[in-house]
Amino acid sequence: MRLRKAARIILIGAPGVGKGTQAVRLLESFPQLATISSGELLRNNVKKQTPLGIKVASTMSIGQLVPDSIIVRLILLELQTRGWLFPSTDSSSLVLSNTSGSRDTDISTNRSSFPDKASPIQTSDDPSASFILDGFPRSLNQARELDQVIPINLVVYLKTPTSKILERIAGRLVHAPSGRVYNTTFNKPKVDGIDDLTGGVLTKRDDDQLETWKTRLEQFESTSRPLLDYYADKGLLWEVEGTSSDEITPQLLSEVVRRFGENE
Ligand code: AP5
Ligand code: MG
């Protein structure tokens, strides 16, 4: 399927609700889309032991949210690296202010330009500038920061009963290098414990312990309501509920077609 205009979608939902899974399905149906997962970006930094990764590793392993200042800059740099943000001035080495007011971060870059909130960012309406953000923004602060540089045009709130999610987390396996997600019951790999595409070994995520997951859920519950209200007030929120992918995926695909798909 083809998009007729840029889709800038964010996925919001409890840990394990299927954000990553639905993002992959959207990509399969709409080749013009691309996805950024905040969790994947962070896990890659942890794995590579970058200064940022070292800083956030313990926070992530106990299921707490990393500071807004770090995640906002990480995501905006990624958006810019992928060419989805176009600073409208020839700014050099501009740095986003952060919500805590401190210039903490370890994110060093050799790139010469960086989005500056003081100068308006031009967004492209070309379908090739479409993206899905999985797991970002996660708080009202983060949403406001994002709004200053790029307008989102669809917010998807995925809902599934907590009891179902718990079963899924117990069965989740990931291919760490690519972030591909499997499950021992749903979406099994072709060969047990092995990634379908590369033949690499599948592992469990470090934060998929029951206690850690509970903390992640508490974090979600305490930060998501203001975020959802914020986007509902803007008329951007679309909610979808289901206990299985068979219920959610078709609804999600048809909503994306309705809003962004090419007219037949
Ligand atoms: P992140 O990686 O975003 O984790 P999360 O929100 O806890 O969500 P998950 O990735 O666990 O679940 P998912 O919804 O993607 O579900 P999945 O598709 O895998 O964040 C990790 C950490 O990074 C955070 O705790 C925090 O520390 C930090 N962080 C990230 N973003 C941040 C931010 N913005 N601000 C601050 N800190 C941030 O599905 C789960 C399982 O269920 C899989 O096994 C899957 O195969 C299976 N499954 C999926 N759909 C179905 C279905 N329909 N039926 C049956 N099984 C299914
Ligand atoms: Mg995920």
Strand order in the sheet with 131-134: 35-37, 131-134, 8-13, 154-159, 237-241
CA–centroid distance, 17 to ligand 2, in Å, is: 8
Distance CA 113, CA 149 (A): 14
Give the pLDDT of residue 215. Answer: 94
- The answer to whether the CB of 184 is under 6 A from ligand 1 is no
Minimum CA distance residue for ligand 1 atom 30: 39
Choose which residue among 12, 24, 26, 38 to substitute to test ligand 1 binding: the one with the highest number of ligand atoms within 8 A of its C-beta. Answer: 38
Distance CA 64, CA 186 (A): 27
Distance CA 193, CA 176 (A): 12
Q: Is the whole model's pTM more than 0.75, yes or no?
A: yes
| Of the listed ranges 118-127, 173-182, 229-238, 240-249, the one predicted with least confidence | 118-127
CA–centroid distance, 135 to ligand 2, in Å, is: 7
CA–centroid distance, 19 to ligand 2, in Å, is: 6
Looking up tokens 């299927």 gives: 18
102: amino acid identity, one letter = S
Q: Which ligand is nearest to the CA of 208?
A: 1
When pLDDT is averaged across residues 2-21 and rounded to a whole number, the result is 94
pLDDT of 88 above 90: no
Show the tokens assigned to 212.
């850690």
- The answer to whether the CB of 53 is under 6 A from ligand 1 is no
Give the pLDDT of residue 167. Answer: 86
The full DSSP string for 71-85 is HHHHHHHHHHHTT--
Return all residues near 146 (Cβ < 8 A) that are at least 6 apart: 72, 75, 76, 136, 137, 152
Confidence of residue 263 (pLDDT cuts 50, 70, 90): low
Ligand 2 (ion): which residues have CB within 5 A? 20
When pLDDT is averaged across residues 89-116 and rounded to a whole number, the result is 37
| Of the listed ranges 31-40, 58-67, 78-87, 93-102, the one predicted with least confidence | 93-102
Residue 8: closest CA among 147, 101, 169, 117: 147
- The answer to whether the CB of 183 is under 6 A from ligand 1 is yes
Whether the bond between 151 and the residue before it is cis, its omega within 30 degrees of 0, is no
